[in-house]
A and B are shown apart, each in its own frame.
Chain A
Amino acid sequence: MIRSLLVTFCTIILAGPAAATDKVTLMLDWYVYGSHAPFYYGKEKGIFAAAGIDLDIQEGRGSGITTQAVAAKSAPFGYVDIPTMMRAAVKGAPVIATGVLLQTTPMSAMGFVERNIRKPEDIKGKTVVYTPGDSLSQIWPLFLKKTGLKEIDFKTLSGDATTKFNAVINGQADLLLGYFMDQSMRIKDATGRNVYPIKFADYGINLVNSGIITTKDLLKDNPDLVRRMMAASTRAILAAVKDRKGAAESILKASPKGGKLDTLTEGFELTIPLFNDPTKKSKQPFVVSDQNMADTVSIMVEYGGLEGTAKGNPRAFYTNEYLPKGLPL
């Protein structure tokens, strides 16, 4: 009896370090939507566990808040809008992107299909609702410039995310500024009706969007964790792309009120093309090209309130060094 107890004790002690995992929180940019599916899928299929990561996914309340939470080390990793992270970084937040997932912007002006607003000229005389201070409201003037529209051509209303959503559903506004794979799906869930998004990217707006960020301290103190997190995230993306419905289902298993299966799947499917590098230099998820980031910084300096000095060193905002090699899409 004593011998078997000793054997068990020794087995636990010897097995202990080998089975140790890092408890890691990934804080999302917003409440869960289709684009987040790979992280839930990776957790469900044990991809993160195989990398020694016990992943806890927390829904966020905006990229700004998530960036501040990561900067304050309340969460080691965040999934945020990278241009928003840049605005915090120039103000001293010690954060950096370790992988940029959405390499084309999903920003759009969207309204119900039946309103027939399909081109920028159709926006004239309509009502657009936006949230002041968010990334879309910052880039909207660039969209107006690129499409030849002026502020006097349409009416604007402003409100928080819920008000934006309600305003379009209830007809107080014709269009809202949002991500074409996020609010469009929520509107479809609520009303059963499709929306048509006028995509900013179609009008020459080259801007990256969401990616994973962490603190510069973590890169120094625990580079191994960062590498494992990015490798697991890359594998999770690749696996989720091959099983889109399964990826959407994994959201609902973790968060039953997270949405509806059809629209979560559709939202994820709409996100997948954004993983591709528009400059065609990278073929792997998260690996962003210098050109794409330089273009993003340039736009953010001109329209996003980023300090002009940021143009001189776009590499201060991101690194591809912690990403695995040889895992193409």
Chain B
Amino acid sequence: MALACVRLPYRLRVAWLEPLSFLILLGISWDVTIRLFGIPRYQIPTPADVVIALCHEWPMLLAEASPTTLATMAGFLLSAAFGIPVAMLIASSRLVESYVFPLLVFSQSIPKIAIAPLFVVWFGFGMTPKMLLAFLLGFFPIVVSSVQGFKSVEPDMLDLARAMEATRLQIFRMISLPHALPAIFSGLKVSITFAVVGAVVGEFVGSNSGIGFVLQRSSGTFELATMFAALFVLALIGVTLFWILHLIERLAIPWHAGQRQEFIIAA
């Protein structure tokens, strides 16, 4: 008798267990390395110190995570809102591509931390410079992936659509966009992790709050355990936002090969 069952619940448990076990293994290796090489605490804190700092400072870290997350999301949404249309323009016009794309690549090499203080001068203290830095760091991956996505539409499909007298909007809605979505989401997922970095850089240079502020303060006072705890929270923010995007991707393109669930067929 053929039996098909969906392994999803089991698979979900295993999916979380694997990275968690790897994290624990990394923590053990970190602790062993410190003990083996006698690395002093003022250079690298032990995992135990970091866990203790996390427990003690959790309310403060949670409160400071809020402005960082807001700045990240605002910057990311801006980079998506501008990045995808710019990618469409580049993909659809060789003229635009030849003028704009090289400049984009050129601008990517400019270290944003060097111009970050100027953002504070131009836009003041507060959310704006953080959001702009998150936008600047998140913009390029979206554009590059989205251009790739829009350009990967098969020409035969486009020819067929034109032969059937489809309008440009119909071609875009029914063929170009669905084909480009996997690449767009790929770019979005990379972009959100860069946007977190951008928000933190903004907090380093001019902010009274946020995880970047905590990092700066704890680094200055040699509170390395708190600093590492703050880094952990930052990584959590990145992972959480990445996962949310992943969920949205599953809803938006359930048909894509990357989203198909495995089925077991047993006889």
- Which residues of A are in contact with B by a Cβ distance under 8 Å? 62, 64, 68, 71-72, 87-88, 91-93, 131-134, 137-138, 156-160, 162-163, 166-167, 170, 172, 305
Complex partner residue of B218 from A92, A133, A162, A167, CB under 8 angstroms: A133
Complex partner residue of B208 from A92, A134, A157, CB under 8 angstroms: A157
Give me 14 other A-B pairs in contact (C-beta within 8 A), A71-B43, A160-B204 excluded: A64-B222, A68-B43, A93-B40, A132-B217, A133-B217, A157-B125, A158-B207, A158-B213, A159-B207, A160-B206, A170-B121, A172-B120, A172-B121, A305-B221
Bound Cα distance A88, B223 (Å): 10
A158 touches B206 (CB 8 A): yes
B59: A residues at CB distance < 8 A: none
A131 touches B120 (CB 8 A): no
**Chain B contact residues: over half helix, strand or loop, or mixed?**
helix
B120's closest neighbor in chain A, by CB? A163
A92 touches B42 (CB 8 A): yes
B221 touches A159 (CB 8 A): no
| Interface of chain B residues 115 through 163 with chain A (CB within 8 A) | 117-118, 120-121, 124-125
Bound Cα distance A88, B41 (Å): 10
Closest A-B pairs by Cβ, 8 of them? A133-B220, A159-B206, A133-B217, A132-B217, A162-B117, A91-B42, A163-B206, A93-B42
**Given A88-B42, A157-B208: A131 and B220 interface contact (C-beta under 8 Å):** yes
A62's closest neighbor in chain B, by CB? B220
Closest chain-A Cβ to B152's Cβ sits at a distance in Å of 43
Of the A-B pairs whose beta carbons lie under 8 Å apart in the complex, a sample of 17, sorted by A's number, is A88-B222, A131-B216, A131-B220, A132-B217, A133-B217, A133-B219, A137-B217, A156-B208, A159-B125, A160-B205, A162-B205, A163-B120, A163-B205, A166-B118, A167-B120, A167-B121, A305-B221
**Given A158-B207, A159-B206, A160-B204: A87 and B222 interface contact (C-beta under 8 Å):** yes
Closest chain-A Cβ to B230's Cβ sits at a distance in Å of 12
Bound Cα distance A92, B43 (Å): 9
A62: B residues at CB distance < 8 A: 220
